[in-house]
Chains A and B, each alone.
Chain A
Amino acid sequence: MAALPLNSQVINREPLSSRITGYTFDVKLDTAARMVKGTLEAFWVNFTSEDVPDIRLHMYMNAFRSSNSTSYRESGGSAGKKAIDRGWIDIISFTDRSGNDLMPLAQYISPDDGNPDDSTVLRVILPDAAKPGDTVFINVEFETKLPSRIRRTGYTDDFYFVGQWFPKFGVYEPAGMRERLQSGWNCHQFHNNSEFYSNHSVYDVKITLPKDYVVGTGGMLINETVPDAEGNKTLTFRAEDIVDFAWTAWPGYAVYTDKWEHVNITLLLPGVRVEQVGRQFAAVKNALEYLTENVGPFPWPHLTFVDPPTKGSGAGGMEYTTLFTSMSADRMPDFLHLPEMVTVHEFGHAYFMGILATNEFEEPWMDEGINSFWEARIIDHYWGENSGLIDHPLLKVADKSYSRLIYVRSDKKQLASNNEYSWNYPRGTYGMMSYQKATTWLYTLMGIVGEETTNEIFREYYKRWAFRHPCGKDFIEVVNDVVTKIHGDKFGPDMNWFFDQVLYGTGICDYKVNNFRNRRLSSEDRDKIERDSLSGITESDSAGTDSDNDDLLYRAVVQVERGGEVMLPVDVLVHFENSDEVTETWDGKSRYKDFTYEGRGKVEWVKIDPDYKLRMDVNFINNSMTDDPDRVPIRNLINKIQMAIEFYISIITL
């Protein structure tokens, strides 16, 4: 079958993106040499208004060539001692459309760290600079050796996951795009923690491999040949408007299909995990439903996801928009929603980085953080608000709880802001900052502006930026526009104050109840209060009403404190002995704030942020205070621990 023209439409009626780049492959999987060999024809269109003298290509597989690559330096890992363990990509020939040999014009560069041992970015000086509107065509014959230790990509035994496997264009950013001051290529090296930032592209991919292999890709199967005399078959796939193309091959896959509205879903997983098929499809359908409703439509009619076998678990938890990998084990208890969590998360990347193609290298919070926020919302919505991750009678854990406690318990949470390049985060903070801190402050934002406003923010974000490259400022602009449109100036002229603190700042949030005092009033004070209330004047911060004579006996003072640097508006709920309740709204700015009540009776308890909306607060324990704390839950817990230990000793002592 002849290759389809890249500018044609096969999957959707209209192009979803501007298609700055496109790729046509004809490759063969050499299972003996553990290589993918073949040819690539690709183009890049200069949509800018300036001449571009060069092109830059990601050569990611070279990250596995040596232990001195930037990725391995960052991770501290090893590429392996034996040649068969390593991965690399070699260009056999490289020409432009006119047949000019581009090899002499190509050189490896390391724009991020100057590492001379890293060869994951290739710069090619064009024989003639690309004028505005020009299309640069390249023809590449290449060999990609897959690494044996699967880390995102590679092989184990007869299992293959082929990702980051071909020369891929970087993104040319004109000045002004993503706050950029000068035009230039955005083409980062392969890093331990990030690899995604690409233009939406069209892919025509022809893969030849042994006939017994089951293949999954991010494309739609267009054609499959009958096996040839050597026992090889050739599969042709087409993918449109996705940011990367990956594929997997393994003879052991069992294939299941299902459908959600217009989306045909294919699941590849080891046959032994057949009992998890229902769980996996439920997870992906729930994610499709929730994100479609609250963010925007999933525009492709096809979606493939993979649960890799145990031996290929290094390929688990990866995202390629219309292909993603989940993670599970052969036996997975029903109460543990790990496969669901990974499936929802990786599918979510179809939106956050796939459709809204942010730069994972430079702003990882927009990719992993926003996606983890939606993962937690989906998991807790469908699998239990308090038991999304673990739903066992003895232990229930919500997804949002997991995120918060990783963030608040980290002793490194103030080492950097949330706005670092992925490789610049201090050691041991990337995951906590990019995933969990961002999730926690997005929940806090939702707590402040409300759930429906939050959904509206993301709907607008999708509307404005789908199939483009938004940056952090673009997201904040959307937030400001939507919040002021819905709430007016309730939160100020914009929400920059929020992002300045949580995204660009390093402070922590900790509101606490310092104390409350109930003081018996003198008779003169009581007379004055009675007089004032008759004349409609009161000294209290909150007007006293319907007070009986006993209530008039007390002046109650509640003191709350801002313990952290972060200042957020917060509710304070004050409960009186006579069951009256007052909700105060505090802007949360001053260090201390007193609320005084006269004639309302004795204060019984106080709660700051009674609904735990400010999930950034690093300590919920000090958010409330009472003179009569409920000890029953502690007693229950201790009684159970007592019995459990007694049983345990009785059992082990024969």
Chain B
Amino acid sequence: MYMMKMLKAIGSGALRSVKAYKGVIVIWFFYMILVSMLTIQTKGALKTGFGKSMITELLQDGINIEVFSDLDTRLESLFSSFSSGFLLVVVIGILMNAFLSGGLFNSLKGSKGNLTVSEFFRSSARYFWSFLGVTILVSLMMIILGLFLIGLPFGIVFGGDSGSGPSSFILLLCVVIIYLIVLIILLLVADYSRAWLVAKEKSSCFKALGYGFSTTFKFFLSSFPMMLLLMIVIILFTWVTLRLVSLWNPGTGAGALLLFIVSQLLFFGKLFLKAWRYGSVTALMEIHPAKPVKEGKV
């Protein structure tokens, strides 16, 4: 029965994400614009740094530390502006994702199907603060649990004299596996919370998190395997994509353009898989018998 529910939710999630393609395109577009603001500036700085030099031929096969180190002070200022720009882009990215996810989740719920762009942005705005709250709270839980589950054992093992040996390795492997399981559970909590906010048209992130936790554990046997399966697919896709692109070094301008197009298509694929995950969790929530939620109490 759990398996059937899971498969049904995954299938429905895939269908919903296809229907919500406009939302995925909007998200991809915003991501591309946001990150381009950083990369275009970086490209300009590199072009200036290398000037009319032919040294870039040594970069044909990838990063060459000698070439970059010869940028000297230019590299330092490039690194400094890139670091601050990167932080800014990440912060904006978090806000942007909290904003756009509202629209995406709304596109994925029930028989809603594809929203118009204006409907998409309207629901994005409506759920922004609650989605941001869920994102921040769940991220904090991940970080704090990470410190306890990973940081503490690693610190003890490497801080002491017993840092070597198979038992230490097995211990550390175990804590990493436990932490990965915890991460999947917390992702489920975040997804259920956001799906519930949109389904019930609520705005309290705390209530949503309460629902997220209770639903995750109540329907654990169908939710966890589903999320595990989806995450394996997403991680595999990400790994293959990054490896493929990192090894591809076209030698012509047309090749570089093709690399850009393919890399952006692959990123679109990554966003599509994320929408699939959101859609599957939403579908699973709708498959489960509805639980009455009283005002002021989860």
Contacts and interface: CB of A to CB of B under 8 A. Distances in A.
Interface of A: 156-157, 270, 272, 309-311, 330-331, 386, 393-397, 401, 404-405, 408-409, 605, 607, 618-627, 629-654
B53 A632 contact: no
A573 to B, nearest CB: 10
Contacts of B163: 310-311, 330
15 contacts: A394-B63, A401-B66, A620-B66, A621-B51, A629-B54, A629-B56, A633-B56, A634-B50, A637-B63, A640-B263, A642-B39, A645-B89, A649-B93, A653-B135, A654-B135
Contact of B263 (A643, A652, A654): A643
A309 B248 CA distance: 40
Nearest to B271: A650
A642 B31 CA distance: 10
Contacts of B72: 409, 619
Contact of A634 (B31, B46, B54): B46
Contact of B35 (A607, A646, A654): A646
Contacts of B56: 629-634
Given A631-B56, A642-B36, A643-B241, 5 more contacts: A405-B69, A623-B53, A645-B89, A654-B135, A654-B139
A642 B135 contact: no
Nearest to B274: A650
Contacts of B255: 632
Given A634-B50, A652-B90, A270 B164 contact: yes
Given A621-B70, A627-B52, A644-B242, A637 B59 contact: yes
B67 A620 contact: yes
A634 B43 contact: yes
A153 B130 CA distance: 60
A635 to B, nearest CB: 4
Contact of B67 (A395, A409, A621, A632): A621
A397 B63 CA distance: 9
Interface string B55-66: 111011111111
B155 to A, nearest CB: 15
A205 to B, nearest CB: 28
B47 interface: yes
Given A157-B161, A633-B60, A646-B35, A619 B253 contact: no
B66 A404 contact: yes
A652 B39 contact: no
Interface of B is mostly: helix
B243 A624 contact: no
A625 B52 CA distance: 5
A244 B110 CA distance: 80
Contacts of A639: 245, 256, 259-260, 263
For B57, B65, B138, B247, the residue with the greatest tally of chain A CB atoms inside 10 Å of its CB is B65
Contacts of B259: 635-636, 639-640
Interface string B246-257: 111111110110
B42 A638 contact: yes
**Which are the 9 A-B pairs with shortest beta-carbon distances?**
A653-B97, A633-B59, A649-B93, A624-B54, A635-B256, A643-B263, A405-B69, A311-B161, A638-B43
A635 B60 CA distance: 11
B53 A629 contact: yes
A462 B246 CA distance: 46
B190 A645 contact: no
Given A621-B70, A641-B42, A647-B238, A653 B51 contact: no
Contacts, number: 199
A630 B62 contact: no
A312 to B, nearest CB: 10
B69 A409 contact: yes
A156 to B, nearest CB: 7
Interface in B95-125: 97-98, 101
Interface residues of B, number: 78
Nearest to A273: B164
B84 interface: no
A635 B259 CA distance: 9
Contact of B55 (A621, A632, A650): A621
A638 B35 CA distance: 11
B32 interface: yes
Interface in B159-210: 161, 163-166, 168-169, 187, 190-191
B149 interface: no
B55 A620 contact: yes
A625 B65 CA distance: 20
B80 interface: no
B94 interface: yes
Contacts of B230: none
B36 to A, nearest CB: 7
B31 A650 contact: yes
Contact of B164 (A272, A618, A635): A272
Contacts of B253: 631-632, 635
Given A620-B66, A621-B55, A650-B271, A330 B251 contact: no
B266 to A, nearest CB: 7
Contacts of A624: 53-55
B31 A654 contact: no
Residue from B52, B97, B241, B247 having most chain A Cβ neighbours under 10 A = B52
Given A632-B255, A654-B187, A272 B166 contact: yes
Contacts of A311: 161, 163-164
A311 B161 CA distance: 6
Nearest to B69: A405
Contacts of B229: none
A640 B53 CA distance: 22
A651 B139 CA distance: 11
A645 B31 CA distance: 9
Contacts of B94: 649, 652-653
A646 B31 contact: yes
Contacts of A401: 64-66
Residue with the greatest number of chain B CB neighbours at <10 A, chosen from A310, A618, A644, A654: A654
Residue of A386, A624, A631, A647 with most chain B CB atoms under a 10 A cut-off:
A647
A647 B267 contact: yes
Contacts of A638: 39, 42-43, 46
B65 A634 contact: no
Contacts of B71: 621
A641 B39 contact: yes
Contacts of B238: 647, 651
A627 B51 CA distance: 10
Interface in B28-48: 31-32, 34-36, 38-39, 42-43, 46-47
Given A631-B47, A632-B255, A639-B259, A272 B165 contact: yes
Contacts of A404: 66
B61 to A, nearest CB: 7
Nearest to B63: A395
A573 B242 CA distance: 39
A633 B58 CA distance: 9
Given A633-B57, A645-B35, A408 B69 contact: yes
Given A632-B251, A635-B43, A654-B190, A394 B246 contact: yes
Given A270-B164, A622-B53, A654-B190, A645 B63 contact: no
B267 A646 contact: yes
Contacts of B21: none
B224 interface: no
Nearest to B54: A624
B83 interface: no
A641 B260 CA distance: 11
B213 interface: no
B65 to A, nearest CB: 6
Contacts of A650: 31, 97, 267, 270-271, 274
Contacts of B252: 632
Contact of B54 (A395, A625, A632, A641): A625
A451 B245 CA distance: 38
Contacts of A621: 49-51, 53, 55, 67, 70-71
B264 interface: yes
